Structure 1
Amino acid sequence: MNLILFGPPGAGKGTQAKKLAETYSIPHISTGDILRDNVQKGTELGLEAKKYMDSGELVPDDVLIGLIKVRLSEPDANHGYLLDGYPRTKPQADALTDILEKISKPIDYVLNIDVQDEELVRRLSNRRICNSCGASYHLEFNPPKTNANCDSCEGKLYQRDDDKEEVILQRLSVYKKQTQPLIKYYDDQNILVTIDGKGQVEDIFNKITNILND
């Protein structure tokens, strides 16, 4: 099963990616993990990427696609993969398509978890973190006993800057600008499936697996 997973911030993409990787025994591959692993191992491509990362610049497409090509050629990806966080632009998608053709690992499905902006803002803006032990709460789904303190250590709870409504809306705007062309790109190839991301984790997971197992 060769998959790409799309989803805006707050859509639960990370949770679904983990469950899919476990269910289908395929590696969950994210560009962040690939970059960190290669930098840590000191590979040639990792060292090249590190130069850009250290200077605060974006890692160029050719370096990223080189890292992904190597990762997808590893033995654990022989029976499938789940790409998360890549591609982000049409040039990246074109390069990925070329690489996958060369290594005979074409994409089976591009899964697009779709959630309305209002729901995403509700999910993310209600998240609270303990400034002492790092415990995570949600004022609606997993509320603390009091809105001010951690249940475990009584540390102060705070809202991360990127969980504030104005920042969330900006993140969503950026995501849409990046992803919308890719939605059409993969829809034109008849491999895009859009899943309604509203509801319980298991319900959404069942929607996805029903599609994959059909």
Structure 2
Amino acid sequence: MRIVLTGPPGAGKGTQAQLLSQTLGLPRISTNDLFRHHISEGTELGMRAKSYIDAGELVPGDVTIDMVHNRLIEEDTRSGFILDGFPRTVQQAIALDEILNEQLNQLWAVLDFEIAEEEALIRMLSRGRVDDTPDVVRHRSRLYNLEKQALRDYYAPILVTVRAEGKVEEVRARTVHALSEQIPLLQYSELG
């Protein structure tokens, strides 16, 4: 099972991806984790990513694509994965399709988390991260919104929208319901 979680910064994708990962026994692949790994290892991709992250910008697509490609060819992803934070653009979605086509695979579902900008801002600021200032968070949200509709259109046949406001368990219940609707062969009890 190969699932993508999309949505603006602060929508709770990471939390829901972690919960789905535990429930389904699939690796959660977060672009933020990939960035941190490559930065801590001092790889060329990591240094390139760091310069953008430090400036509060999104990491360019080619750097992210290379990191994701390297991760998706690892053994633990053969039976599936939950991708958190990638793709963000149609260019990245096309690159993901190409990676999956190499493996004769395809995505099963794209869960798109929707949340009001102010709610996302409150969530982001409550995390207490140094780089999560109101201006940086709003800038990231604007960048996401520029690509949002094109990405939704690209994934329309497998896209399911999930309302991300509310408590973690409420959003989890909506996520499980949305996923079970998109993948009818999956029994709800497997996700419960």
TM range (shorter): 0.7 to 0.9
| Residue number in structure 1 paired with 2:142 | 173
Structure with the greater relative contact order (CA < 8 A, sep ≥ 6): 1 or 2?
Answer: 2
Instruction: State the 1:39 CA deviation.
Output: 5.3
Q: Deviations over 1:73-112 (max 9, x none)?
A: 2121121111112112221111111111111221111110
Q: Could you say what the CA RMSD is over the residues aligned between the two structures, in angstroms?
A: 2.8
Deviation at 1:128, TM superposition (A): 7.5
Flag structure 1 segments of 5+ consecutive residues without an equivalent. Answer: 135-159
Q: By how many angstroms is 1:7 displaced?
A: 1.8
Q: Deviations over 1:161-188 (max 9, x none)?
A: 7343x5544332222113332111111x
Change in 2 beyond 3 A, CA 1:198/1:104: same
| 1:44-82 Cα deviation digits (max 9, x unpaired) | xx43x1452465597654443233223112121121111
In structure 2, the partner of 1:19 is 19
Q: Contact (CA 8 Å) 2:49, 2:63: kept in 1 or not?
A: no
Distance between the aligned counterparts of 1:18 and 1:183, measured in 2?
23
Partner of 1:116: 116
Identical-pair percentage? 39
Q: Alpha-carbon deviation of 1:114?
A: 0.6
Q: Which amino acid aligns with 1:21?
A: S
Q: Does 1:37 align with 2:37?
A: yes
* Aligned AA (1:192): L
The structure with more helix, counted as a fraction of residues: 2
Q: Give unpaired runs (5+ residues) of structure 2.
A: 185-192
Q: 1:170 to 1:33 in 2, by over 3 A?
A: closer
Computing the radius of gyration from Cα coordinates, the structure with the larger value is 1
Residue 65 (structure 1) aligned with residue 65 (structure 2): yes
Matched, 1:100 2:92: no
Name the structure 1 match of 2:132: 162
- Equivalent residues, number: 177
